[in-house]
Structure 1
Amino acid sequence: MNAVIIAVITMLILSLSKVHVVLALLIGALVGGLSAGMGITEAIDIFADGLGANAEVALSYAMLGAFAVAISRTGLPDLMVKAALKIVGKNGETKRKSLSKVFIILVVLILASFSQNVIPVHIAIVPILIPPLLKVFNELFIDRRAMATVLTFGLKAPYILIPAGFGFMFHEIVQESMAESGLPIEMDMIPIAMLLPVAGMVFGLGVALFVTYRKPRTYENKEITDVTEKDQSHFSYDLKSVTFSLIAIIAVLIAQFVTGSMILSALIGLIILYASRSLHISHSEGLMNEGIKMMAFIGFVMIAAGGFAAVIQETGHVEPLVQTVVEWVDGSQALAALLMLIVGLIITMGIGSSFSTVPIIATLFVPLAASLGFSPMATIALIGTASALGDAGSPASDSTLGTTSGLNADGQHHHIWDTCVPTFIHFNIPLIAFGWLAAMIL
């Protein structure tokens, strides 16, 4: 068998068998290298050499994680949540429950979306935002499966489409991975290519809210668990800290577009917060540790994915695999695009991170897309969509894990059946359909 197929299948089987994805990537790379005739020492050396490819991304995650923790400590997210609670009413008391239901869904959607690009705190927003709103959901008889789709959409769609905050990092990874695989692109091409796939997610969200989960669902008014209460870190805030946190956020966004560096941008944001004394410099060590801890999983998976991709490329089996697939699909772009998206779904479901999937599938998809005559824009749509597939619905994804952590604060929300299954159905299916359509049109 082809060494690339053996490596990918090994990695997937191990990941789906609950083996940590970093170990799965290492073992998969070694098995692939050995099946291609490499010695184990040679395979390990190649894997080690490839680790540096995504080191900058991993550091970017650590810095952005630290900035996210810093912003949360200024009290800005708490202020936003309290403002939302004040508007909707802490007990959901209203004669127009339908209007209140629409409003609270919009509040959650907007704040979750802001957490990716505008105020890049990622999943850290969930334990701050959701537990205080659970009783409001109960009073309005909101199906938490609907809220799971709303949260997952907000944690996912914005970074796929908008090149700011975590979106800047995702687009940068796509650009660099495609360039390393032989297809240089401009970053401003990515939002255009991903517009239709994200429209598919909007469609899926609409189906979840207006069709699948529109009926009222009853929950008990239980107190949240001690663990969740412990995780909810409420920090005192004043006009100064909130003002400078907003200034820091604006500075980070501007710096991203001017310098193109997430590391420098996050550093500028942290300097503003420390220089303004919104945060004490003595807290910097703990803040960095928390930020690294929050983002460590994706960062380490990204580093390991670079080593895996390096071994895959060195096997020399990518080109034969591409030629075999081209012959098998008989030159059909439609069939090839569908198969590529399904492969992306399987890989991302196994890894649990769309960011970490990009370097792996770019290695396979760029030469395959070129052999089948796909345009650069269509190739971007295929890679971006294929990597995003499975992030929603994967039990190991931070988007689904973060969503469940908030909605299950009182023990009434199941991770698999109430988060993973609803998000898998309503986002992955439309992403395949609309991503395939984008590849055909672009």
Structure 2
Amino acid sequence: MTELPGPKSRELFARRNSVVSAGVSTAFPVFIERAGGGVLVDVDGNSLIDLGSGIAVTSVGNASPKVVQAVSEQVAAFTHTCFMVTPYEGYVQVCEQLAELTPGDHAKKSALFNSGSEAVENAVKIARHATGRTAVVAFDHAYHGRTNLTMALTAKNMPYKHKFGPFASDIYRVPTSYPFRDAGVDGAAAAARAISQIAVQVGTENVAAVIIEPIQGEGGFVVPAAGFLPAVADWCKANGIVFIADEIQTGFCRTGDWFACDREGVVPDLITTAKGIAGGLPLAAVTGRAELMDAVHAGGLGGTYGGNPVACAAALGTIATMRELDLAGAARAIEETMTTRLRAIASRHPAIGDIRGRGAMIAVELVKPGTTEPDAALTGAIAKACHAQGVVVLTAGSYGNVLRFLPPLVIGQDLLNEGLDVIEAAFDQLAA
């Protein structure tokens, strides 16, 4: 309807700049008025195709009927009491669902929080308390959050860590499996490389936990080679180390399974979830082996808003929607459509060095043709061109050279293909 951003969005952005910290960035300065089903409508009346889902949050859409109904009923009843003071059933119901859905058939318990960073922080607390050890191992290209401890776990300096130190201590980083940049290194070899470095540089007996994203998010949707995750998990089990799967971005049907660990039969000791769990409301969880979750003394876990009743209601509506609509299956259908189209684009544009991901978590890594040299400039230009045509895409990667696509799992195939048409046109214009 207008150029993007339109006049009303520009006016609001000027107001935003006068009162919102410059430290809070905005990728695409259009102000949204309503949204749903993969479409964002801005204040100027423009309809945008959403291939970002609020960074993998609105998997069931921005106003899913079951979520809206559950939240409305809960708000009318009460908005808060604090579960640590006077509990309520919704919190228990969410924990029951998590015990059923997360990998493994062992006894499980959960604790609920507000954000992915909080979930990761508490998973580390639990692992350290339960093992009596302190060292925590993370991986290259990892992203685990923006709090002090999770910044230490995160690999990328800019914008997440720059000038925010010193960070939490006893955090160590080892190489991951990155098939596009690991020519000839299979999953078993990559795991052996990481394990050897841990043993030499940290000491196996000192490690409380190893934390990993089964598919890395901000790192560029890096899918480790087959066998890497099981080998690391088995080594942890053999050495009394807590294996933490950070499924904050990959969880809740995003990768075509309920959880990314399911694909290779990996059963984590602790799993962290957030993002897609509650249809857009802030909720996060740590779920794990009952004996680990119970190792912490009473009062050692919690938070004023953790497991807020309205967010719990949203989570129950979200999970019900995922079950009813088979959104894991929908993610697999999205993968088929996207990878087919993207491979056709890559056949004409050698700047696409790699197409990877799983389910509705797909990425392309852009490089200087014939090399593995990252091309962040082209990545940014293509994202900007897509935005100008009303398609919301995101960038990622340690080198800023990855376009990542996270469409809502309820997006229609016609709308998805329309968005891919715009992406294809951007490549034809800019990558020739």
For the superposition of Structure 1 and Structure 2, which TM-score range results when normalised by the shorter chain? under 0.3
Higher RCO (CA-CA < 8 Å; seq separation 6+): 1
Q: Judging by fraction of residues, say which structure has more helix.
A: 1
> TM-score if structure 2 supplies the norm length?
0.25
> TM-score if structure 1 supplies the norm length?
0.24
